[in-house]
């Protein structure tokens, strides 16, 4: 191939458009530029997107490999042998009445087509719902919050809102480092418009917080206190929209009763912030006509993640900050296609088109579309990510198929996770790269085509669907993930259900299942996407009777939508004040704050929070092999406040052991006021392949939100021990020297 190809960046959920061109001569690296015509990113990319091509030939898995036990070495095998082994194992378990012991764990790195075929194989053909994805660790609290507050999933905002807001309220998101192009758009706008305000809520003084008019460094786990405290003030000041509340919402009285208990003096104390700052935040909300909230893992990765997100949404409902330009609650997706996964049924309680396995009508619609007998799809949600691990522990999971994700680094309570993986009778690991930390736990390795070697679609955080055209053929014997799943489906006897010639046919079948659903994509196909990325909703009905974006009737004192965005700009949802609930009203949530699942105590007196760095992506499978990024972030570290360092006698650069109730890790200390006292921070990127004993998740716990089942990866209780004292007290010098 010699021409340039347009695609989407395969890292974060911003979903920047890329243009990829071959090197000037054979053997030269592919070159990557920002795609100026992409409506979401407008030509901008960050260091990850700019360097992604450097990773595509490094450490690739090129052929299937197999072994009978984890003690043996892998030997290469043919696809025929690999597929036969998978199908035999599955048929044996099905014949034994143990189909519930089969699980598939996928990834937000999948294209939508991969997701769609994977969940069709498990939910439709096997008749169990044990398909979950790493989005469970990332976005499931946002999914649950949108569903419960609005009647369906789907972020209501779009990126143009970044440049139309009066007040950006960023909570639990280090946007500058984790979603840099979104932050660039917002920051440039804020520099031009000094009246617009930026509030950042984060226990750390991040690069995002440095740009804020107001930084609220709240104590970890006090987000709901803060939101209810702001609501208390707004209600007291009369700074609410009673017309919108009356006409477009329900359950406000229950919420008002809750927020009565959050007076500023109590909230400020609980959150550990000055009362003036709390009042200032509420004043910014009250004085702004358009408030835009952005949130990410700091809200979602919590044992009360759904309650946190819903309580934040409450603020938007009580002030009518939704469905209009520059306003609304906007969750930022961590992964490039977490959104596509949600649309395609990529979690264990979902079916395609924002349907639920619990809904009989939804199951019947999907069974009919798939040509399966009534009752084939189980009404019971399948195993979520963590319950696959506990199922291995109990022996109830007997076949675990992991694809495009690295749970031996990313799961909570890592020693427990690894011990469970060691017990797996049969683990299939499908990935583009080898080795990864998880490949050490596999019996069968399947080589997957990586993003530039297969054509498919991804949806970014603002519901923009981009066609990712392959720009080169797969290496070795690698195949697209959807092709591998489809071949297994055919061999299990479902030829008609997996009779696809190419990914365009897969997309077309999936899109038909979204007709008249909230995420209607029937107006989107590969031909139209080849012209430009397109946001949903985009119904086939609109092609014959086109409507202008944001044309809904606006209620109350909602601001008239005067957005002059081009036609390809993402539309906002709920511009007419009507939501996807049965009565069309958004629902207020009434939650008290519960705090952390594992608060600090005398034995473990500090709160550990984990997070991401600008250059690295998740478990470094790609970025750990890119020289520029490795130079930028060569090693992990522990951020500690000077007060805590002094108390513990820790000096700058000194190695420290961090212990939780589950494990330990070791880092050099970075003493900085960027982290609040009584908290410490470590990055989550370093697994066993990249550093010794530096895994953040060896410390974290699996306690999860009871609604979204998303684990609280963001916080756990720890204690610190300077390694010098360990050398004296517990370790011989030899042990110490061997470790860091
Ligand atoms: Fe890729 Fe995200 Fe960077 Fe955009 S901001 S180039 S999507 S990593």
pLDDT tens for 286-318 read 999 999 999 999 999 999 999 999 999 999 999
Rounded to whole angstroms, how far apart are CA atoms 526 and 528? 6
Rounded mean pLDDT, 622-639: 95
pLDDT in tens, 86-103: 999 999 999 999 999 999
- Residue 109 CA, ligand 1 centroid: distance in Å: 13
pLDDT of residue 23: 79
Q: How confident is the model at residue 267 (pLDDT cuts 50, 70, 90)?
A: very high
pLDDT at 731 > cutoff 60: no
- Residue 568 CA, ligand 1 centroid: distance in Å: 20
Rounded to whole angstroms, how far apart are CA atoms 511 and 525? 8
Ligand 1 pocket test, candidate residues 108, 178, 181, 620, most atoms within 8 A of CB? 181
- Residue 614 CA, ligand 1 centroid: distance in Å: 10
Residue 525 vs residues 265, 339, 701: alpha-carbon distances, Å? 55, 17, 42
The atom number, within ligand 1, closest to the CA of 45 reads 6
Three-state DSSP state, 74: coil
291: enclosing H helix or E strand? strand 291-295
Ligand 1 pocket test, candidate residues 18, 20, 45, most atoms within 8 A of CB? 45
- Residue 14 CA, ligand 1 centroid: distance in Å: 6
**Ligand 1, atom 2: closest residue by C-alpha:** 12
Q: What percent of the chain has a predicted confidence (pLDDT) above 90? A: 91
Q: How confident is the model at residue 724 (pLDDT cuts 50, 70, 90)?
A: confident
User: Strand 131-133 and strand 102-106: pairing?
Assistant: parallel
537: enclosing H helix or E strand? none
Rounded mean pLDDT, 212-238: 98
Size (the chain), residues: 740
Rounded to whole angstroms, how far apart are CA atoms 418 and 607? 24
- Residue 9 CA, ligand 1 centroid: distance in Å: 6
pLDDT at 567 > cutoff 80: no
What is the C-alpha end-to-end distance of the chain, expressed in Å?
46
Three-state DSSP state, 611: strand
- Residue 343 CA, ligand 1 centroid: distance in Å: 21
Our CA angle for 605, 296, 575, nearest 5°, is 145
3-state secondary structure 41-66: CCCCCCHHHHHHHHHCCCCECCCCEE
Rounded mean pLDDT, 663-677: 97
pLDDT of residue 689: 95
Ligand 1 pocket test, candidate residues 46, 612, 622, most atoms within 8 A of CB? 46
Question: Cβ(500)–Cβ(135) under 8 Å?
Answer: no
pLDDT of residue 544: 66
The atom number, within ligand 1, closest to the CA of 460 reads 7
Q: Which two tokens stand for residue 49?
A: 């997107």
**Which residues pair with residue 34 across a beta bridge?**
18
pLDDT at 542 > cutoff 90: no
pLDDT at 679 > cutoff 60: yes
- Residue 46 CA, ligand 1 centroid: distance in Å: 5
Taking the alpha carbons of 420, 421, 425, 426 in that order, is the dihedral positive or negative? positive
pTM of the model: 0.94
Residue 15, C-beta contacts closer than 8 angstroms, at least 6 positions apart: 8, 9, 40, 41, 336, 458, 459, 460, 461, 462, 464, 466
Q: How confident is the model at residue 729 (pLDDT cuts 50, 70, 90)?
A: low
Residues within a 6 A CB radius of ligand 1: 9, 11-12, 14-16, 45-46, 48-49, 179-181
Q: How confident is the model at residue 2 (pLDDT cuts 50, 70, 90)?
A: low
**Ligand 1, atom 3: closest residue by C-alpha:** 46
Q: Phi/psi at 459 (nearest 5 deg)?
A: -115, 130
pLDDT in tens, 583-604: 999 999 999 999 999 999 999 9
Q: What percent of the chain has a predicted confidence (pLDDT) above 70? A: 94
- Residue 611 CA, ligand 1 centroid: distance in Å: 17
Instruction: State the average pLDDT for the chain.
Output: 94
pLDDT in tens, 22-43: 877 666 778 999 999 999 999 9
CB 548: neighbour CB atoms within 10 A? 8
CB 396: neighbour CB atoms within 10 A? 15
Q: Which two tokens stand for residue 361?
A: 């009508």
The atom number, within ligand 1, closest to the CA of 34 reads 6
pLDDT in tens, 448-506: 999 999 999 999 999 999 999 999 999 999 999 999 999 999 999 999 999 999 999 99
pLDDT at 551 > cutoff 70: no
Which of the 8 DSSP states describes residue 281?
Answer: H
pLDDT in tens, 683-697: 999 999 999 999 999
Our CA angle for 596, 601, 606, nearest 5°, is 75
Ligand 1 pocket test, candidate residues 19, 48, 462, most atoms within 8 A of CB? 48
Which of the 8 DSSP states describes residue 122?
Answer: I
């Amino acid at each position: 191939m010699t021409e340039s190809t347009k695609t989407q960046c395969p890292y974060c959920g911003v979903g920047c458009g890329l243009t990829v061109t071959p090197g000037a001569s054979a053997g030269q690296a592919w070159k990557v530029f920002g795609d100026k015509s992409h409506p979401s990113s407008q030509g901008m990319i960050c260091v990850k997107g700019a360097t992604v091509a450097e990773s595509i030939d490094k450490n690739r898995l090129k052929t299937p490999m197999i072994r009978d036990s984890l003690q043996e070495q892998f030997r290469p095998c043919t696809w025929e042998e690999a597929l036969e082994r998978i199908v035999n194992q599955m048929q044996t378990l099905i014949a034994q009445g143990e189909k519930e012991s089969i699980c598939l764990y996928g990834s937000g790195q999948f294209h939508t087509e991969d997701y769609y075929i994977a969940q069709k194989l498990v939910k439709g053909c096997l008749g169990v719902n044990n398909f979950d994805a790493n989005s469970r660790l990332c976005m499931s609290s946002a999914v649950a919050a949108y569903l419960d507050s609005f009647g369906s999933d789907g972020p209501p905002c779009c990126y143009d809102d970044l440049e139309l807001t009066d007040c950006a309220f960023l909570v639990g998101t280090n946007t500058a480092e984790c979603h840099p192009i979104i932050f660039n758009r917002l920051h440039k706008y804020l520099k031009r418009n000094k009246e617009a305000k930026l509030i950042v809520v984060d226990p750390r003084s991040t690069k995002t917080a440095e740009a804020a008019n107001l930084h609220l460094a709240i104590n970890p786990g006090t987000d709901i206190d803060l939101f209810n405290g702001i609501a208390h003030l707004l209600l007291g000041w009369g700074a609410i929209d009673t017309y919108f509340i009356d006409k477009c919402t329900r359950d406000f009285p229950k919420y008002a009763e809750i927020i009565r208990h959050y007076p500023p003096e109590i909230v400020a104390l609980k959150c550990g912030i000055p009362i003036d700052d709390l009042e200032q935040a509420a004043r910014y909300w009250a004085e702004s006509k358009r408030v835009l909230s952005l949130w990410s893992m700091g809200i979602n990765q919590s044992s009360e993640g759904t309650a946190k997100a819903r309580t934040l949404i409450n603020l938007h409902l009580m002030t009518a900050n939704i469905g209009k330009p520059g306003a609304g609650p906007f969750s930022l997706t961590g992964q490039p296609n977490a959104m596509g996964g949600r649309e395609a049924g990529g979690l264990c309680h979902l079916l395609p088109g924002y349907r639920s396995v619990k809904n009989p009508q939804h199951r019947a619609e999907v069974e009919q579309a798939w040509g399966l007998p009534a009752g084939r799809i189980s009404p019971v949600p399948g195993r979520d990510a963590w319950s696959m691990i506990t199922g291995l522990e109990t022996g109830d999971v007997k076949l675990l198929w992991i694809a495009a994700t690295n749970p031996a680094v990313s799961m909570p309570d890592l020693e427990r996770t690894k011990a469970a993986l060691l017990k797996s009778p049969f683990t299939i690991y499908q990935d583009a790269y080898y080795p990864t930390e998880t490949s050490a736990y596999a019996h069968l390795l399947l080589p997957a085509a990586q993003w530039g070697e297969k054509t498919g679609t991804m949806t970014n955080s603002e519901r923009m669907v981009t066609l990712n055209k392959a720009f080169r053929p797969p290496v070795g014997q690698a195949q697209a993930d959807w092709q591998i799943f489809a071949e297994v489906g055919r061999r299990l006897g479902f030829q008609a259900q997996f009779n696809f010639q190419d990914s365009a046919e897969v997309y077309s079948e999936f899109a038909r299942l979204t007709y008249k659903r909230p995420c209607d994509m029937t107006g989107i196909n590969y031909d139209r996407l080849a012209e430009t990325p397109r946001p949903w909703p985009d119904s086939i009905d609109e092609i014959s009777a086109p409507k202008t974006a944001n044309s809904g009737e606006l209620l109350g004192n909602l601001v008239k939508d005067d957005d002059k965005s081009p036609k390809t700009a993402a539309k906002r949802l709920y511009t007419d004040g009507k939501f996807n609930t049965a009565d069309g009203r958004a629902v207020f949530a009434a939650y008290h704050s519960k705090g952390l699942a594992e608060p600090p105590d005398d034995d473990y007196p500090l709160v550990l929070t984990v997070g991401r760095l600008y250059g690295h992506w998740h478990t470094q499978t790609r970025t750990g092999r890119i020289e520029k990024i490795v130079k930028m972030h060569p090693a992990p570290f522990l951020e500690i406040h000077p007060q805590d360092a002094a108390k513990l006698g820790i000096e700058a650069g000194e190695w420290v052991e961090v212990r939780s109730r589950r494990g330990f890790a070791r880092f050099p200390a970075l003493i900085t006021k960027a982290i609040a006292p009584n908290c410490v921070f470590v990055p989550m990127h370093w697994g066993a392949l990249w550093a010794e004993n530096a895994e953040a998740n060896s410390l974290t716990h699996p306690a999860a939100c009871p609604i979204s089942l998303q684990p609280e990866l963001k916080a756990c209780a720890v204690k610190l021990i300077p390694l010098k004292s360990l050398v004296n007290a517990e370790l011989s010098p030899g042990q110490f020297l061997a470790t860091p």
